[in-house]
Structure 1
Amino acid sequence: MTRSDIQTMETTHNQFGLRIAAHLDAAVADLPHDISERLRAARTRAVAARAMSVQTSPQTVVQNGLALLNGGDEGLNIWNRIGSLLPLIALVAGLATIKNFVDDDRANQLAEVDAALLADDLPPSAYADPGFLQFLKLPTLTEKQE
């Protein structure tokens, strides 16, 4: 939208508001005094609320056909970008460290099971026994003595 389009829309809205106000003013003359006073007080509050909302609205800037909110002098310089990426980098590094730790722990557990299997003289039927894995998880006599 161009500036002239925005001004035309504002003018149209203002004219519509003035016509509504004229109709309301004409109708107020026929109302009792107490009702007209309550309407006057309500109008005053509405105008005051509208004035406050207009003052607190953000400033918009139109550049190259894009409407932008004016955020002040704080631009996205290199330090702001680095500061916004640091938490993401820390999260990824932490997750990678946890994954490596879990993988190493799992490899150590499998190595212990393999070492126990290779060190003991077991018959082949022991490997097919469902309770064999539980047996391997039990502490050995040397571990109990320590």
Structure 2
Amino acid sequence: MTATSDHSGVRLESLQARLGARLAAGLSERAAAVPHDITERLRFGREQALRAARQRRQTTVTMPVAAVAAGTARDDLLGRGGFWFGLAAGVPLVLLILGLVLIQYWASREQVLAAAEIDAMLLSDDLPPSAWTDPGFREYMKAPKP
């Protein structure tokens, strides 16, 4: 660090300290004029905020201990994520891919069967040759049979 940056850091800290002192003094002066019920509500809110902060601090201290214990139990059971962990992670992926392949096969089979049904109807029906060139023939084929 250079001497200039040291001085600017010290200057910034002193400015922050002076601002904090002025704000605290102004708040203290005006605190005497605040009605009693508002003072009590502020005190109650302060106590709740402090209680919540203490609880958060306690849970953050105990969380890593629980996470380490859970990780150790998993490592003991599965052998540090060896074969069984890999198998458990790979099986859902294989099943997903297999399902997608089966869906694709089923959809294409349905399309082929629908086209074969239409072809069979066309070839088995007695139609004049002019029907094949008629623009309304497609609508005729789509219409339900009586």
TM over 0.5: no
Larger strand share, 1 or 2: 1
Higher relative contact order (CA 8 A, sep 6+): 1
Larger helix share, 1 or 2: 2
TM-score band by shorter chain is 0.3 to 0.5
Q: What is the TM-score normalised by the length of structure 2?
A: 0.45
